[in-house]
Structure 1
């Protein structure tokens, strides 16, 4: 329930003065009411001073600008081209851009509400009363209204909209970070799969040559058909890997095309030719944890959400206090349309009103409590985002360190397996060893080479995940 005081004023200035005095008395009384300050800092999260795991080539600290376009550090023009296309045409990014435009427009709506409103109006009428002749009336004028933001409710609502717009901006940045990383991950996986296919094809050629030798030796009566069938089984197993890898390559290529905003089959030519797995520059630069959290757009988004929730608490609190409005009009009245242009009768009015909440069943207080609960949710979400950010970086560092060590061992194993396979084939051709040894060395070689290719791709993938965890990919 509200109480309103309205007064039209033409020449009644004393009445208007009494109205203003009453409004200021109410304002003073309301100003003496208790005001609960809802301002509070974001909940503290223990942030370590340094990362628990760091690569040997790590440099601390690094400028955020060095991470803005981290994909160039792979020195792969095709990768840079694909990421650029994705940032320009990806549907998720375009949707986030539209959401940002919407948030900014809604902020402008709130800002416009802080200013007086002015409108023009005009009317024409014809009326008749009793036996009197019908008469015409015409009116044209300007109307203005303004609601002073005495208790800051409108300003708080505007601050909430501004925070929402900032959150939409950092949300767009977060989408850009994710899309750039997804494109790089898909591209590296594609190159890794092509490397695996090349290894399988080379091993298939070697096994086919061994099968031919086995056939010749069986025809010469030097071995039985058992060795021939064993060789054929091993060859066909390797051959079966080829279509599986080709299928994986096609699916990854389709996903990469969609990420860049293109139809699935549009990237057949640009990435169809095998190329080495891109490797990141070895001089990895790493920010300290606190700087990393400031660089990550999702952390900034969570901060903006807290600011918006805090502003909404203040706006809900301000709604519990009186509101004021001032309006007026200036116009011309005439009995004929031509009379308006010749001056007509000047009519002015001024209206001031105050609305005081008296009883609402506790709805206003409940609205404040609801906004306070939303503020607490925003704070908890901020904590969760920070913890997840720290975990992402630590996981990426651990994976990078482990894969680098694993690659060293796998490369040594692959060299030994290659030597063993070569010697086994030579000795088998000379009849010095049985065929079972040849099969075993060929299987070991294929496994070792595949593991090396997989580890090399994993290291590049770890770099991508680390750059994403550090918040790289946006300005």
Structure 2
């Protein structure tokens, strides 16, 4: 009973005096500008709105929507990231379990025999009666007993070492979830980008094939004129050279189409043969203008997964610092083993069979050659490095947004100029056909106008692809939670 009271006293003292030595954590203040550079150089971004998470829906492309949904469900790295979350949760649960007592139970039967030649217990087994000289058995030389009981042990976390380790493990769970969010953003951006590039390659291939047909017809006409004496071998050579140059582009565009097709298959966690045939059917590039609500630079601190990861890393290392400091202080333990012991099994559960043992202990490394101080210093320097990494993440995020904002503005201007040039080239080609039919110009001038118009049509597709690529990268730089569910696509979802 006295030991029991001592244990209760130690427990009460521990509860009352328990305190955490973990340094108070606060994320560093990071000053940012009130708006982005080049924000006024583009036409569509809106600074007073929050960036859209599911922005690609504005393309109004059911196939793209389904590819994004399928990729987020089937992408193998995303599935691996989900497993990492479960592993982090299991680790956190294991660490947190040290905060509560550990209880184990057991039962069994013990049999023992004492040697008569045992130097300590042997004389007690057999002894001579001093009066009669008869041999007496003072104790049984063999016996047995049934046992049932429990073992309880608990470390009182007076200085918060276990709590700090548990909090650090909990933050690692948050990091695993943030990592998966960031990976979802990256995978989704790759799906959108490769889909647009695939459609762009198909559109450029259609233009090239149309040009090949037109230039083949022109070459046949030039050859006919040469045979009739109205043309020359130079004319035939020029027409043949233009046709060969256009034909050379076709295999490159086919390669580009298949490369993006194969990349989409990989992103969707499947193989090209299993992806389907619908993507092989050419479809036009989206023409709808996409508004890009930029929001404020300060919103990046909440939207960017890499910034969130860096901030949580600081918080986790701060808990490691606390655990290292607490490890320098004494550790207190309580343990107890209540149980039942009886020679006969029928008496095992009687009140007279109760037995127990309890203990209170303390462990304190009073000298370790400076190891504990070195561990504290190590973690403190890790924390200072994590602060710098956080600042670097913020700077990187803002730089990426401003870079792609500048690229988006320039690509818009380039696309507008190319579209205007393409329209003028088409007018020039129509005029050349009219003049040729009137006999005012020869076919070579028509051929040259046709070449310029075809080149600008291809350049117009390339310019549009550059604009959409900058849109993808700008949204990626703005961050956000891009996770989708099938219900968000409604009836537009189709199987690719």
* TM-score, with length taken from structure 1: 0.89
SS in 2 for 1:357: coil
Question: Once the 2 structures are TM-superposed, how far is the Cα of residue 337 of structure 1 from its aligned partner?
Answer: 3.3
Q: Give CA deviations for 1:449-471 in whole Å, capped at 9, x if unaligned.
A: 11111111221222111111111
Q: Does the alignment pair 1:98 with 2:106?
A: no
Question: Once the 2 structures are TM-superposed, how far is the Cα of residue 261 of structure 1 from its aligned partner?
Answer: 1.1
Question: Once the 2 structures are TM-superposed, how far is the Cα of residue 330 of structure 1 from its aligned partner?
Answer: 0.9
Q: Which whole-Å CA distance do the structure 2 matches of 1:22 and 1:263 have between them?
A: 62
Contact 1:193 1:249 in 2 (8 A): yes
Give the corresponding residue for 1:5: none
RMSD: 2.6
Q: How does 1:303-382 map onto structure 2 within 5 Å?
A: 303-342=311-350, 345-382=353-390
Give ranges in structure 1 of 5+ residues lacking alignment: 1-10
Q: Which whole-Å CA distance do the structure 1 matches of 2:320 and 2:92 have between them?
A: 14
Question: Once the 2 structures are TM-superposed, how far is the Cα of residue 250 of structure 1 from its aligned partner?
Answer: 0.8
- Structure 1 226/57 Cα, relative in aligned 2: closer, same or farther at 3 Å? closer
Q: Does the alignment pair 1:41 with 2:17?
A: no
- Structure 1 21/199 Cα, relative in aligned 2: closer, same or farther at 3 Å? closer
Contact 1:23 1:354 in 2 (8 A): no
Q: Which whole-Å CA distance do the structure 1 matches of 2:264 and 2:371 have between them?
A: 52
SS in 2 for 1:51: coil
Give the corresponding residue for 1:8: none
Question: Once the 2 structures are TM-superposed, how far is the Cα of residue 161 of structure 1 from its aligned partner?
Answer: 0.8
SS in 2 for 1:127: strand
- Structure 1 280/379 Cα, relative in aligned 2: closer, same or farther at 3 Å? farther
Give the corresponding residue for 1:128: 113
Correspondent of 2:71 among 82, 86, 94:
86
Q: Does the alignment pair 1:195 with 2:182?
A: no
Contact 1:328 1:351 in 2 (8 A): yes
Q: Give CA deviations for 1:179-229 in whole Å, capped at 9, x if unaligned.
A: 111100000111111111111111112111111110110110111222112
Question: Once the 2 structures are TM-superposed, how far is the Cα of residue 158 of structure 1 from its aligned partner?
Answer: 1.1
Give the corresponding residue for 2:469: 461
Correspondent of 2:253 among 235, 239, 245:
245
Question: Once the 2 structures are TM-superposed, how far is the Cα of residue 375 of structure 1 from its aligned partner?
Answer: 1.0
Q: Which whole-Å CA distance do the structure 1 matches of 2:266 and 2:191 have between them?
A: 10
Q: Which whole-Å CA distance do the structure 2 matches of 1:167 and 1:61 have between them?
A: 30
Give the corresponding residue for 2:391: 383
Q: Which whole-Å CA distance do the structure 2 matches of 1:21 and 1:92 have between them?
A: 51
Q: How does 1:37-436 map onto structure 2 within 5 Å?
A: 38-54=23-39, 55-63=42-50, 67-131=52-116, 133-279=141-287, 281-342=289-350, 345-424=353-432, 427=435, 432-433=440-441, 436=444
Q: Give CA deviations for 1:410-449 in whole Å, capped at 9, x if unaligned.
A: 1111122223334445555666445654443333222211
Q: Which whole-Å CA distance do the structure 2 matches of 1:36 and 1:52 have between them?
A: 44
Q: Give CA deviations for 1:280-324 in whole Å, capped at 9, x if unaligned.
A: 544332211111321112211111111000010011000000010
Give ranges in structure 2 of 5+ residues lacking alignment: 117-139, 484-496
SS in 1 for 2:87: helix
SS in 2 for 1:113: helix
Q: Which whole-Å CA distance do the structure 1 matches of 2:180 and 2:344 have between them?
A: 59
Q: Which whole-Å CA distance do the structure 1 matches of 2:278 and 2:387 have between them?
A: 46
Question: Once the 2 structures are TM-superposed, how far is the Cα of residue 113 of structure 1 from its aligned partner?
Answer: 1.3
Question: Which sits farther off after the overlay, 364-373 or 43-52?
Answer: 43-52
Q: Which whole-Å CA distance do the structure 2 matches of 1:18 and 1:220 have between them?
A: 117
Q: Which whole-Å CA distance do the structure 2 matches of 1:21 and 1:308 have between them?
A: 31
Give the corresponding residue for 1:6: none
Contact 2:21 2:326 in 1 (8 A): no
Question: Once the 2 structures are TM-superposed, how far is the Cα of residue 21 of structure 1 from its aligned partner?
Answer: 7.3
- Structure 1 18/339 Cα, relative in aligned 2: closer, same or farther at 3 Å? closer
- Structure 1 331/436 Cα, relative in aligned 2: closer, same or farther at 3 Å? same
Contact 1:254 1:265 in 2 (8 A): no
Question: Once the 2 structures are TM-superposed, how far is the Cα of residue 137 of structure 1 from its aligned partner?
Answer: 2.3
- Structure 1 249/160 Cα, relative in aligned 2: closer, same or farther at 3 Å? same
Contact 1:147 1:325 in 2 (8 A): yes
How many matched pairs? 457
* TM-score, with length taken from structure 2: 0.86
Larger radius of gyration: 2
Q: Which whole-Å CA distance do the structure 1 matches of 2:288 and 2:396 have between them?
A: 24
- Structure 1 83/451 Cα, relative in aligned 2: closer, same or farther at 3 Å? same
- Structure 1 338/446 Cα, relative in aligned 2: closer, same or farther at 3 Å? same
Q: Give CA deviations for 1:23-71 in whole Å, capped at 9, x if unaligned.
A: 969x98x99xxx987335334433111112223333233246xx23222
- Structure 1 230/37 Cα, relative in aligned 2: closer, same or farther at 3 Å? same
Q: Which whole-Å CA distance do the structure 1 matches of 2:161 and 2:3 have between them?
A: 30
Question: Which sits farther off after the overlay, 130-139 or 290-299?
Answer: 130-139
SS in 2 for 1:352: strand
Give the corresponding residue for 1:445: 453
